[in-house]
A = this chain, B = another copy of it.
Amino acid sequence: MMDRVAVVGLGLIGGSFAAGLKQKELAGHISAFDVDAAGLDSGLQQGIIDSVAESVADACKDADLVMISVPVLSVQSILQDISPTSLITDVGSVKAPIIEASRAVFGDVPSTLVPGHPIAGSEQHGVAAADPRLFEKHRVILTPVESTDPASTDQVRQLWQGLGSTVIEMSVEHHDWVLAQTSHLPHLLAYALVDSLSSQGDSMEVFQYAAGGFRDFSRIAASDPVMWRDIFQANGPAVLSILDRFLDELGDIRQMIAQGDSEALEQVFQRAKEARDHYSEQNSEQNSEQNAQ
């Protein structure tokens, strides 16, 4: 339970966090600031925040907890207006720039700053799509650094757990590497695929006959362009390294098709299928174990 919470950036994630805290009665008063005044009004009318602030500083003064939910490269300008006496956390999809921003503003990472990242989202955005249950049964990764007070990490962990999330800790570097693989590269492929296909022929037709996996995959190309622009700028080296390995593999597969080497092609597909199936089995076992507990 937090007495006073400030949410800076009241979009889908900030709004869902506020809505979740309200629903679970984990916050006393929630104040919010956003550059979009209409979104703040909407949040007020939805009853997920208690007051609208005039500025970041106004939202955060006397706050017990500040939640920063803005595109990653905007975090530094926000930190400039916050006092590290508050507990501070964020939801950015890349963690290294949060650490850099903190060092630039505070000289180091304050003991009260707990970088975080909920592995949840949607191609929807804006506070109108806020959902108090968005984080339920989803993982949240926290990346505390050496100077982070373990008590701060505990407080942030308990809030996320209160919203129904499973909280995991890992290093900043490991987070940024894993997410480059599981989220950033797939988003890049979805954007490239949708842009490449929709620029040729009848683009409506392309989506019309999209079935199953591609339908879901193309949906992620509707994600917020500014947020993703920042992610690729912030996590460029990791994304490029993983993209290049992917391009090598795709080049090999291209050769197999061009040369009609269907045996090699089948081997690749079989290997990918086994990896995916192996995960599905492990995952369903884990879920049954969790359900049994």
* Interface, chain A (partner B; CB < 8 A): 119-123, 138-139, 141, 178-179, 181-183, 185-201, 203-214, 216-223, 225-226, 228-230, 232-233, 236, 239-240, 242-243, 245-250, 253-254, 257-258, 260, 262, 265-266, 268-273, 275-280, 282-283
B182→A217 contact, CB < 8 A: no
Contact of A222 among B188, B276, B282, B283 (CB under 8 A): B276
Contacts of A283 in B (CB 8 A): 207-208
Can you name 29 A-B pairs with beta carbons within 8 Å? A119-B209, A120-B211, A139-B209, A141-B209, A183-B209, A183-B210, A186-B213, A188-B253, A189-B189, A192-B268, A194-B276, A195-B249, A195-B271, A195-B275, A197-B242, A198-B271, A203-B279, A213-B217, A214-B217, A222-B276, A225-B270, A228-B269, A229-B262, A232-B265, A236-B258, A236-B260, A240-B258, A243-B250, A243-B257
A120 to B211 CA separation, bound complex (whole angstroms): 7
A105 to B248 CA separation, bound complex (whole angstroms): 40
- The 7 nearest A-B residue pairs measured at CB: A213-B220, A216-B216, A225-B269, A198-B275, A186-B214, A207-B279, A229-B266
- What copy number does this chain have within its complex? 2
B233→A198 contact, CB < 8 A: no
Contact of A181 among B206, B221, B222 (CB under 8 A): B206
- Chain B residue, CB-CB nearest to A229: B266
A195 to B179 CA separation, bound complex (whole angstroms): 17
Contact of A191 among B196, B272, B277 (CB under 8 A): B272
Contacts of A190 in B (CB 8 A): 213, 217, 272
Known A223-B273, A266-B225; judge A187-B213 contact (CB<8 A). Answer: yes
A192→B253 contact, CB < 8 A: yes
A196→B246 contact, CB < 8 A: yes
Closest approach, in angstroms, between the C-beta of A29 and any C-beta of chain B?
31
Contacts of A210 in B (CB 8 A): 182-183, 186
A209→B178 contact, CB < 8 A: yes
Closest approach, in angstroms, between the C-beta of A174 and any C-beta of chain B?
9
A276 to B269 CA separation, bound complex (whole angstroms): 28
B233→A262 contact, CB < 8 A: yes
B221→A272 contact, CB < 8 A: yes
Contact of A282 among B179, B204, B217, B242 (CB under 8 A): B204
Closest approach, in angstroms, between the C-beta of A208 and any C-beta of chain B?
8
Contacts of A212 in B (CB 8 A): 120-122, 220
- Chain B residue, CB-CB nearest to A191: B272
A276→B218 contact, CB < 8 A: yes
A218 to B272 CA separation, bound complex (whole angstroms): 9
Known A198-B275, A250-B247; judge A206-B193 contact (CB<8 A). Answer: no
